[in-house]
Amino acid sequence: MKNSTKIQLGQHGPFVTKLGLGCMRMSSIWGGVTPDETESIATIREALDEGINFLNTGDFYGAGHNEILVGKAIKGRRDEAFISVKFGAIFHNGHWLGMDLRPIAIKNFVNYSLTRLGIDTIDLYQPSRMDDSVPVEDIIGTVADLIKEGKVRHIGVSEITADQLRLANRIYPISALEIGYSLADRQIERELLPTARELGIGVVTFANTAEGLLTGELTAPLAENDYRNHFTRFQGENLLHNLEKVEFLKQLAGQKGCTPTQLAIAWVNRQGDYIMPLVSMSRRSRLPENIAAMDIVFTTEDMNSLNATFAPGAILGGTYLQR
């Protein structure tokens, strides 16, 4: 196995690779074009070849398309893959309608996921966020029942508050917290990250480049049809200000002989042994760059400069990551 660095999910949970593969972008969620399926499957298989075993999907990604795709990719290789599935979000015609976290719905969702994935047990099962419409006790309790039935191995949570995380962990040991985290989105450092660490819960972080802001490839203004125009972070003076901050990331990347994207992933990786960067990709060509990011070493001066330049609040405007 090439990528042998591991992270433990939960105090007594499983060990998985420190770099996770997010499969979301291999399907159309908001009604856009679906990426080439052959290339997506090849990407998953090559990730497995490289030793990356954490695969993240959701039953609402492409109305089940993503789970079917992942199922095809892991056929004959089930033992090499750790499958993480999110549930609960309801979409119609590419539009988000809300959440359904009722116990009866969860019991229905899991059976469809198992069928689409072609597996008997989901390794990590988690509500995609909590919306207060159903008590946390009912949500976590239902997934705990699925563990007893052998349909699920471990429970995760996503888009949750520190208080909700404590409550969920009291009901049943939580293995992983999935949450957005990047140099541009550091609000979880106040309460959520310390709580997860205290409870021994692994943290799976998505959006490490903050919707592409930290890639160093954005210019202002964005194209009219760019979905990011809906977010204040990418609008007008906010975007101009934020791109000035990214210039420092580009300069440091140049000095270290890497890309701004790699630096953004590496910074998240260095925030703790209990934190996993979950990187979404749908092309094999992205794998080497993202894998190499895990080996980037920061000096104390590098880290201090990054933390000062991207201090909480330094990036103006918000996205759906704002909590």
Phi, psi dihedrals of residue 196, rounded to the nearest 5°: -60, -40
pLDDT of 31 reads 62
Active site residue 125: no
3-state SS string for the chain: CCCCCEEECCCCCCEEECCEEECHHHCCCCCCCCCCHHHHHHHHHHHHHCCCCEEEEECCCCCCHHHHHHHHHHCCCHHHCEEEEEECEEEECCEEEEECCCHHHHHHHHHHHHHHHCCCCEEEEEECCCCCCCCHHHHHHHHHHHHHHCCEEEEEEECCCHHHHHHHHHHCCEEEEEEECECCECHHHCCHHHHHHHHCCEEEEECCCCCCHHHCCCCCCCCCCCHHHHCHHHCHHHHHHHHHHHHHHHHHHHHHCCCHHHHHHHHHHCCCCCEEEEEECCCHHHHHHHHHHCCCCCCHHHHHHHHHHCCCCCCCCCCCCCC
In a domain, 101, yes or no: yes
pLDDT of 322 reads 45
* Residue 6 burial (CB count, 10 A): 15
In a domain, 319, yes or no: no
Phi, psi dihedrals of residue 152, rounded to the nearest 5°: -135, 145
Residue 317 region, left (φ>0) first, then alpha (ψ -120 to 50), else beta? left
**Tokens 């590098």 belong to residue:** 302
pLDDT of 95 reads 79
What CATH number does residue 97 fall under? 3.20.20.100
Q: Which domain holds residue 41?
A: 6-210+259-297
In a domain, 305, yes or no: no
Handedness of CA 110, 116, 119, 122 (dihedral sign): negative
| Closest by CA position to 29, among listed 56, 63, 55 | 63
The residues, ordered by sequence, that sit 6+ positions from 181 with a Cβ below 8 Å of its Cβ are: 188, 193, 203, 205, 206, 207, 208, 268, 271, 275
In a domain, 168, yes or no: yes
Tokens coding 105: 């719905």
pLDDT of 4 reads 66
Q: Are 62 and 34 in contact (CB under 8 A)?
A: yes
Average confidence (pLDDT) per 10 residues, the chain, 323 residues: 78 93 88 85 97 96 95 97 96 86 98 98 96 93 98 97 97 97 96 97 96 94 88 94 97 97 98 96 94 96 97 88 44
**Candidates 61, 125, 181, 274; catalytic one:** 61
In a domain, 232, yes or no: no
Structurally, the chain folds into a number of domains equal to 1
Tokens coding 265: 């992933």
